[in-house]
Structure 1
Amino acid sequence: MTVDSARKHPVFPPFTEWVDAFALMGGWDGKSPLPGIRVEEVVEDDAFIVHAELPGLDPARDIDVMIEHGVLRIHAERHRDQREPQRTEFRYGALARDIRLPQGAQDDSITASYDAGMLTVRVPIEPLTKQLRHVQIEHR
């Protein structure tokens, strides 16, 4: 019998699972530099799109999306059920994630949707003109 056939589960979880768990613990209060909400950012021709993993939440009650000074803030809160679990690995409480919007973002036209635990925020982007412009110099 070889060692590989005898061991069905690794002794320690993969390093990436340790990093993910540490990041979620540190970012849960929304004040830590480590993220509490996992996001994916996508840039299309005319939009900046953010996908945020927020499973098991009620978007009308538990999720808030805000824009201030060119920063998109996603705030969420997970509440405990009325029943007490015997054992849980779920995290309860508030979490937040700030994402700087790209130049040209039209923050008055942002839309958000929630489906199957995924929050999608779509930020329209105005194309930037890259024209050379000379600045007049005043002489006294």
Structure 2
Amino acid sequence: MTDTTRKHPIFPPFTDWVDAFALLGGWDGKGPLPGIRVEELVEGDAFVVHAELPGLDPARDIDVTVHDGVLRIHAERHPDKREKQRSEFRYGALAREIRLPQGADDDEIAAEYENGVLTVRVGIARVPTKPRHIPITRIG
């Protein structure tokens, strides 16, 4: 006989455990908030961050700031008021901090949100990668 009145399993699905481990940065507990999945790349003269944030209103739910060379994305997913039979959606605050690369221009940042993905572009100046000889001045 099957009990059809149970709405939630006794233990969460294995994928929930794996996702929680990945989003929290492993067992070291980095940061108090679950993380946001991101993709970082360089396109031409810009450092680009794609953040996976489906189902959010960027004007209300997402905040992007930069301070001391660190890009911070903070988002909050609010539960709707409908009665649910079952939900695997995560609600509450999410955050991610990303150190910007050398040469990043804090004044040249743009963000856009499309199809559940936040894209942040940060201008970067090309930094010389060749070793440079530094002359030494003798004193005394």
Tell whether the structures are fold-level matches, with TM greater than 0.5. yes
**Structure with the higher fraction of residues in strand conformation:** 2
Q: CA deviation at 1:139?
A: 2.0
Instruction: Give the alignment's TM-score, normalised by structure 1.
Output: 0.75
Q: CA deviation at 1:23?
A: 2.1
Given the superposition, is the C-alpha separation of residues 82 and 135 from structure 1 closer, same or farther in structure 2, using an over 3 Å criterion? farther
Is the CA contact (8 Å cut-off) linking 2:54 and 2:115 kept in structure 1?
yes
User: Once superposed, what is the RMSD of the aligned Cα atoms?
Assistant: 2.6
Is the CA contact (8 Å cut-off) linking 1:23 and 1:35 kept in structure 2?
no
Q: CA deviation at 1:17?
A: 7.3
Q: How does 1:44-83 map to 2 (within 5 A)?
A: 44-83=43-82
In the alignment, structure 2 segments of 5+ residues that lack a partner are 1-12
Aligned residue pair count: 124
Q: CA deviation at 1:100?
A: 0.5
Given the superposition, is the C-alpha separation of residues 124 and 80 from structure 1 closer, same or farther in structure 2, using an over 3 Å criterion? same
Identity %: 68
Is the CA contact (8 Å cut-off) linking 1:30 and 1:96 kept in structure 2?
no
Question: C-alpha separation between the residues in 2 aligned to 1:100 and 1:35?
Answer: 18
Question: C-alpha separation between the residues in 2 aligned to 1:115 and 1:30?
Answer: 29
In the other structure, the counterpart of 1:132 is: 132
In the other structure, the counterpart of 2:95 is: 96
In the alignment, structure 1 segments of 5+ residues that lack a partner are 1-12
| 4+ long deviations beyond 4 Å | 15-18
SS in 2 for 1:81: coil
**Structure with the higher fraction of residues in helix conformation:** 1
Task: State the Cα deviation string for residues 28-70 of structure 1 (Å, max 9, x = none).
Answer: x9825x9621100111221110000000000000000000110
